[in-house]
Structure 1
């Protein structure tokens, strides 16, 4: 049985191929057994040149095109069929079963972080102090009001936050 397949003739890192008609039992690397050269394909530029008349003749004589050559012939409109998957021959084609849309899960909204600002002094403004929910020290203490923040220097508040273990 004859096969229409690619034979690599390009240099390293410069792939180009000849499209040949050959006995399917022979290696395409050898020149022996090539019945006819029917085209070429430069993979770098992607422009196949095929002799459509001769390919139609060999297909009518029973020659089988390889998957890659088949796809090239479909691209050049020598044959009017669908492309075939040339890769992943070992994986099975699984029919896709319609999957039900996942049910929306009610999201629990976390309370917004409380931002407390210190009163602005004319000489030097104090930095903004954020109370994080994650620190157990902040939860144990009474909620701070702007008056209590003004009483405690900013350096002590920062030191307490640094001492708190990360949760």
Structure 2
């Protein structure tokens, strides 16, 4: 069975995830068929980028999303667009709608949820002291 799930990437204690299509039996960090998106929970708000056309294609051919991916798809509107695709809407219209919604969304900030320490705080002392 083919699943749409998150694949962890990033540094230690700084996770970010790729949304991948993979065989259910493959390891979490193992091989995958295709990368269809990106999720970074450390930005405020979290960064969720989904290639709508590929996500809708894989859902239409029977790929099962994991629980975490279902939550992401609901947040980005992909789940609602897939329901409309099943009801008979055209894929091109849904993809155009998704692109328009992404363009109208608030710009993503590069700030993380965890602030850096001020100079002079923490274990490291500023240079020159």
Fold match by TM threshold 0.5? yes
TM-score, length basis structure 1: 0.46
Partner of 1:51: 51
Shift in Å, 1:28? 2.0
Consecutive unaligned residues of structure 1, counting only runs of 5 or more, are: 82-167
- Aligned-pair CA distance for 1:52: 0.9
TM-score by length of 2: 0.59
Work out which of the residue numbers 33, 37, 40 in structure 1 matches 2:38.
40
Q: Distance in 1 between matches of 2:41 and 2:14?
A: 8
Q: Which has the larger radius of gyration?
A: 1
Pick the structure with more helix per residue: 2
Runs of 4+ in 1 over 4 A off after TM superposition: none
Q: Distance in 2 between matches of 1:68 and 1:42?
A: 13
Task: Tell me the CA shift for residue 17 of structure 1.
Answer: 0.3
Name 2:70's counterpart in structure 1: 70
Gaps of 5+ in 2: 82-129
- 1:79 shift after superposition: 1.0
